[in-house]
């Protein structure tokens, strides 16, 4: 099937239900998915499942038949590289918590869905919030427990242990692009919001300049990402879930220069410099410096329940 060719089958839009979808990007993987394909630190940029685009709401998504058993794969996920960057990632969580508290300054509790190794839960606890996280990866939950990062529940949301509980702040940080039914997830989040509560959704923006510049080599094109949003498709999904977007902003991340240089080497010839940083002490110290970066290709949507 050629790029842009209409089709039939199991590829109706998973947001608006439209069958007016076209093949947008062919699959790059010739085998079945494995847990390691979902690593948070995966650097195989441009590697995706077959992606389709909805002509009605612009959502880009993987075919339902290719996704497989996502939950089971995430339960088995192990990603030791993620914990190696915990110190810099903690700065990210502090920044994201600041965004949420600005939107709901009276917040007293917080739910983090897809909580990883508990970095946001831990930061919220340090700032006086009663925080709980839900995370499917057994390994990441074990890491959170070993590091005393607060309450993490192994599993997916909604979870029986959270039934009936409501929260002033609910976070979906780089999660919604990983799920097969984003509207249902957003609706479940809406039900978990206390009166006046705020949902903060962070996800890559497939209409960003960075994506337009890099095309199919964009760093957010990964096997783990089965849905790609822009403002139009997110507005549609939020509305169908009973939510209204109050504001949108670009988010920044914090990384050691070493991490950025290693990833940049996939686009420009930096391998020689990265090798030198291992041997040359001043360069090695420079590479350890953590810097904020905002490539303006990741959006934070602040949402509240309609009405």
Average pLDDT over residues 62-87: 90
Average pLDDT over residues 142-157: 97
Please tell me the predicted confidence (pLDDT) of residue 245: 98
- Eight-state DSSP code of residue 61: E
A 10 A CB-CB count for 92 gives 21
| pLDDT reading at 59 higher than 60 | yes
Q: What domains can be seen in the chain, in order of their start residue?
A: 80-203+234-254+294-305 (3.40.50.150), 255-290 (no CATH)
The structure tokens 């989040």 sit at 189
CA dist 243 and 249 (Å) reads 17
Q: Which residues contact 150 (CB under 8 A, 6 or more apart)?
A: 118, 121, 122, 124, 125, 131, 132, 133, 144
- Dump pLDDT digits (tens) for 284-294: 999 999 999 99
| pLDDT reading at 37 higher than 80 | yes
Per-residue confidence at 19, pLDDT binned at 50, 70, 90?
Answer: very high
CA dist 104 and 305 (Å) reads 13
Please tell me the predicted confidence (pLDDT) of residue 9: 52
- The CA distances from residue 291 to 36, 74, 89, 253, 259, in Å, are 28, 30, 11, 8, 10
pTM of full prediction above 0.75: yes
How large is the C-alpha radius of gyration of the chain?
Answer: 19
In this structure, what token pair is assigned to residue 149?
């990062």
- Dump pLDDT digits (tens) for 95-129: 999 999 999 999 999 999 999 999 999 999 999 99
| pLDDT reading at 272 higher than 50 | yes
The structure tokens 């010839």 sit at 269
Please tell me the predicted confidence (pLDDT) of residue 63: 87
A 10 A CB-CB count for 241 gives 23
In this structure, what token pair is assigned to residue 174?
């780089």
- Dump pLDDT digits (tens) for 236-268: 999 999 999 999 999 999 999 999 999 999 999
Residues, the chain: 307
Mean pLDDT score of the chain: 94
| pLDDT reading at 2 higher than 60 | no
Counting residues of the chain whose pLDDT is more than 70, the rounded percentage is 97
Half-sphere exposure of 146 (CA within 13 A, CB side): 8
């Amino acid at each position: 099937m050629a790029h842009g060719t209409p089709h039939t089958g199991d590829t109706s839009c998973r947001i608006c239900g439209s069958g007016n979808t076209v093949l947008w990007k062919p699959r790059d993987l010739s085998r079945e998915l494995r847990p390691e394909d979902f690593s948070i630190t995966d650097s195989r940029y441009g590697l995706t499942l077959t992606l389709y685009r909805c002509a009605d709401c612009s959502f880009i998504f993987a075919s339902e038949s290719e996704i497989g058993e996502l939950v089971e794969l995430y339960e088995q996920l192990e990603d030791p590289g993620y914990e190696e960057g915990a110190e810099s990632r903690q700065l990210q969580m502090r920044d994201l918590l600041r965004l949420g508290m600005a939107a709901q300054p009276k917040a007293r509790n917080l739910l983090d869905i897809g909580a990883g190794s508990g970095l946001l839960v831990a930061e919220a606890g340090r700032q006086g919030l009663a925080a709980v996280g839900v995370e499917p990866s057994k390994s990441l939950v074990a890491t959170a427990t070993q590091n005393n990062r607060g309450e993490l529940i192994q599993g997916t949301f909604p979870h029986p242990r959270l039934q009936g509980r409501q929260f002033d702040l609910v976070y979906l940080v780089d999660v919604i692009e990983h799920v097969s039914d984003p509207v249902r997830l957003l609706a479940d989040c809406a039900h978990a919001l206390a009166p006046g509560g705020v949902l903060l959704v962070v996800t890559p923006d497939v209409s960003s300049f960075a994506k337009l510049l890099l095309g199919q080599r964009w760093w957010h094109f990964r096997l783990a990402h089965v849905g790609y949003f822009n403002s139009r498709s997110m507005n549609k999904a939020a509305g169908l879930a009973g939510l209204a977007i109050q504001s949108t902003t670009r988010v920044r991340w914090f990384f050691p220069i070493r991490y950025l240089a290693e990833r940049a080497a996939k686009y420009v010839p930096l391998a020689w410099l990265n090798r030198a940083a291992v041997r040359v002490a001043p360069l090695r110290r420079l590479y350890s410096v953590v810097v904020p970066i905002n490539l303006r290709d990741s959006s934070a949507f602040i949402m509240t329940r309609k009405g």
